[in-house]
Structure 1
Amino acid sequence: MRKLELFKFDVQFQIRHGFYPAYALVSLLYIGLLSILPAPYVEQASILIIFTDPSVLGFFFVGGLVLLERDQSTFSTLFVSPIRIHEYLFSKVISLTTLSCLSSSIIFITVHESHLNYFPFIIAVMLCSIFFTLLGILLAVRVDSVNMFLYMSPALVIVFYLPLLDFFNLIDSFLVYLLPTKAVLLLLEGSFNTLSLWDYFYAIAVLTPWISIAYMLTLHEFQRFLRTKCF
């Protein structure tokens, strides 16, 4: 019940502070851009847009949210209540993943209509958003300001964008298959093609441990942050 209440609060907070209107506008801009591209480039451009923006919006939004809540001394009172850290993390991750899925779905369904395999698409967006939102929280509790968060962000996430080089046939290395974002790109490509059971197995087998590690690191750093900065 607490998780549901926290989730509802976070969604309402995001709506009140313009997250949903902002990404409604962003989605419309992307739809407009994709609608004027030559047909042979639309599929690849769609995957690139979803991979680099809506799927990872949680990383940047959650960083700002956590730093804002810290500056407002929210944590000093929040965790003397019955709320647990894992419930707080769950709410932040799922609420932003919901926004990510909505934005991505609007773009893809509008542009590609029925020419879309929705199952691998939504798995890709959901798992990618969960992973990057956790990374955003992890970084947010390690820095002291929004400017520092933005400065450090590229150093943390750039390695996860390396599979784009393989996506555009600029490199050919099996090492990219060890990264969770390669699995995300494979699933997004599967939105337009047929994936084998092995493809699904590979994607889940790679993404699950990465998400688990990101969660454990984030939980540990959040606990350390609360001990050293809030109490």
Structure 2
Amino acid sequence: MKNLDLFTFDIRFQFRHGFYAAYALVSILYIGLLLLMPASYVEKTSIFIIFTDPSVLGFFFVGGLVLLEKDQSIFNTLFVSPIRIHDYLVSKVLSLTVLAMVSSSIIFGVVHQHHVDYLPFLIAVTLCSIFFTLLGILLAARVDTVNMFLYTSPLFVIVFYLPLLSFFNLADPVLLYLLPTQAVLILLEGAFDSLTVQDYIYAIAVFMAWISFAYILTYYAFQRFLRTKCFS
């Protein structure tokens, strides 16, 4: 029950601070842009938009959330309760993944309607959001202010945007396939073309490895963050 209560609290907190309103507006702007584009560009542009924005919104939002909760001294009361760090991380990841899935699904649903396969699309958005939200918490645990988070975030995530080189046919080194974001692009493109079982196995396996690694790093970084910056 405490996990559900914490998840509900996060959803309400995000709603109250305008996250849903902000992404409703962003989604409307993206839909308008895509509907006005020539049909030949819509598929590739919509994939690019989902890859670079709604799927990774958790990274940027969670940094602000963690630092805002620190400033509001929420951790001082939250973690004297039976809430564990694991519960906190899971709640943050899932609540922001819900927002990413809702925003992305609305954009794709309005623009493409029933002309896409939503299974690889939803897998891509879900796994991408989980991974980047964990990265966002990891970075937030290492900085002191929102400005510092925003200044350092591009350097923190730029390597994960390298698969765009392959997406735009600029380069296709085999090492890109070790990155989880290469798997995201394969799954998103698979929403318009058929994927093999091997494609699904590759994408999910790569993501599970990266998400596990990111979770371990984030857990211990956040534990140290609480000990040195919140309860010191």
So what's the TM-score if we normalise by structure 2? 0.98
Shift of 1:216: 0.5
| CA deviation map 1:177-211 (0-9, x unaligned) | 00000000000000001000000000011000100
Q: Which structure 2 segments of 5+ residues have no match?
A: none
SS of residue paired to 1:129: helix
1:41 counterpart residue number: 41
Once residues 184 and 19 of structure 1 are traced to their aligned partners in structure 2, the CA distance between those partners, rounded to angstroms, is 24
Q: Residue deviations 1:72-112, cap 9 Å, x none?
A: 12112211111011000111000000000000000001000
Alpha-carbon distance between aligned partners in 1 of 2:126 and 2:99, rounded to the nearest angstrom: 10
Q: Which amino acid aligns with 2:42?
A: V
Q: Which amino acid aligns with 1:195?
A: L
Residue 223 of structure 1 aligns with which residue? 223
CA distance in 1, matches of 2:172, 2:61: 33
Task: Structure 1: give runs of 5+ residues left out of the alignment.
Answer: none
1:92 maps to a residue whose letter is: K
In the other structure, the counterpart of 1:94 is 94
Which residue identity is paired with 2:28?
L
CA distance in 2, matches of 1:62, 1:218: 13
Q: Deviations over 1:31-81 (max 9, x none)?
A: 000001111110000000000000000000000000011111211221111
SS, match of residue 204 in structure 1: helix
- CA distance in 2 between partners of 1:156 and 1:41 (Å): 30
What is the match of residue 52 of structure 2? 52
Which residue does the alignment assign to 1:194? 194
**Segments of 4+ moved more than 6 angstroms:** none
Amino acid in the other structure paired with 1:59: F
Identity %: 73
How far apart in 2 are the matches of 1:50 and 1:125?
Answer: 8
Cα distance per residue 1:110-164 (max 9 Å; x no partner):
0001101000000000000000000000000100101100011011100000000
Aligned-partner Cα distance in 2 for 1:182–1:201: 13
Whole-angstrom distance in 2 between the partners of 1:211 and 1:146: 24
The aligned amino acid for 1:125 is V
User: What is the Cα deviation at residue 230 of structure 1?
Assistant: 2.0
SS at match of 2:193: coil
Please, which moves more after superposition, 110-119 or 71-80? 71-80
For 1:19 and 1:178, the matched residues in 2 are separated by 32
Aligned Cα root-mean-square deviation (Å): 0.6
* Whole-angstrom CA distance in 2 between matches of 1:8 and 1:24: 20
Find the aligned partners of 1:126 and 1:207 in 2 and give their Cα distance: 11
Q: TM-score, normalised by structure 1?
A: 0.99
Residue 113, structure 1, aligned to residue 113, structure 2: yes
